[in-house]
Structure 1
Amino acid sequence: MIPSLLPLTDIPQPLDPVPLDKAYRLLNHGPTVLVSCRHAGVDNVMAAAWVCVLDFLPPKLTLVLDKASHTRAMIEQAGQFVVQIPTVAQRDLTLAVGSVSLAEDADKLRHAGVQLLAVPAVDQPLVAGCSAYLLCRLIAEPHNQQTYDLFIGEVTAAWADPAVFRDGHWQFENADPALRSLHHVAGGHFYAIGESVGEA
């Protein structure tokens, strides 16, 4: 059930490692994200809007995953997952993977047009075309997970497209507008991140 895998060397945009002490900046602007997981040979991807930076070093994040989510059960079993930042160009893909469960459609990823990256030494799927990626280890907190649907992940590696994130900062104002991040409002309504208003 794995969609077409693209070796990292064959993807159209390069990816640069992001130092872990700067990984929190990939999420600090509140984007909608894609959460992916592989368990027992099955890949899945879902959209999520409730993701937040929790700590700097080691970098940690929180995410809310409903009990009905198939990805949630996979993450609990696999103990790891990937959070990635989709772009404006991936709006339809983001909406598609956020609207259909793998439990309802075994070919969900193919129907949504998802391509996955094959990353050496990383046994988790990364969605091709995103602007940034955070590989996470689940910090198991059963009470929080069951009571509040709240999951905690420690970021163990991060990468970003240097066309839009470099030197530890987003460069949206200097990049193709199609690379801007998505911000979910409700239903199928998204905004793209706006213009920079300068630094203090």
Structure 2
Amino acid sequence: MNDFPNSHFKNVPLEKAYRLLTHGATVLVSAQHEQQRDVMAAAWACALEFKPAKVTVVLDKSTMTRQIIEQSGYFVLQVPTYKQIDLVYQLGTTSLHDMPNKLEKSGVKLFYLEDSEQPLVAGCSAWLVCKLIPEPHNQQAHDLFIGEVISAWADDRIFRDGHWHFQDADPEWRSLHHVAGGNFYLIGEEVSVQDRLKSP
């Protein structure tokens, strides 16, 4: 049974939304246009601007997700966790072009919010719903898509008060950082410049 959104699903102020991406995690990109929807994994996504909150993501021309985004004008970035590593790998290595039942076969669970027609992936640690800012040259020449974040949420077991709390959470909540093939790093321990300066 889909338990999203749940009591841990909390709104993130747009001025803090950039913090959901600044640690460089692999993301899941979802989109829907009419009855067609897709989810893919992407390693190249980052914050672009504070106010209004903007993000970028690189989407290859061969992906169905990209085509859907170009049609709908919206997309969602979400930060998956270590417990979803198999799902991330499947969504990153299969295409809706070749596998029409890709979403069902991967076992992805989607949910919708009342004010959005875009699908969100359940079980992630953060979600950013974005409105596409059309930049035809960047999209064609560099596969670079820019979006304005219109709403953002995070699971408060891992992100609260504008900060990630990986150090206090179960390791299954750690974010994935793609290296190559099916290899990822998990986010590591928190370190502080101030603590380093205080060291003898």
**Band of TM-score, shorter chain:** over 0.9
Identify the residue that residue 130 of structure 1 maps to in structure 2: 124
2:19 to 25, 33, 42: 25
TM-score using structure 2 length = 0.94
Q: What secondary structure does 2:116 align onto?
A: coil
Other structure's SS at 2:84 match = helix
* Partners of 1:162 and 1:21 in 2: CA distance: 17
Q: Structure 2 CA distance, aligned partners of 1:62 and 1:195?
A: 26
Determine whether 1:146 maps to 2:134: no
CA distance in 2, matches of 1:87, 1:144: 30
TM-score norm. by structure 1 comes to 0.94
1:163 pairs, out of 149, 157, 161, with: 157
Query: Does the aligned pair in 1 maintain the 2:4–2:122 contact within 8 Å?
Result: no
**SS state of the match for residue 105, structure 2?**
helix
Tell me which stretches of 4 or more aligned residues in structure 1 moved more than 6 Å.
none
Which shows bigger deviation, 88-97 or 119-128?
Answer: 119-128
> Percent identical across equivalent pairs?
57
Matched, 1:102 2:96: yes
Structure (1 or 2) with the larger CA radius of gyration: 2
- Please provide the CA RMSD for this pair: 1.3
The one-letter amino acid of 2:29's match is V
Residue in 1 aligned with 2:76? Answer: 82
Aligned length: 194
Q: Is the 8 A contact 2:82 2:173 kept in 1?
A: yes
Structure 2 residue runs of 5 or longer lacking an equivalent are: 195-200
Deviation at 1:119, TM superposition (A): 1.4
SS at match of 2:132: strand
Whole-angstrom distance in 2 between the partners of 1:70 and 1:43: 9
What one-letter code is carried by the residue in structure 2 that aligns with 1:53? Answer: A
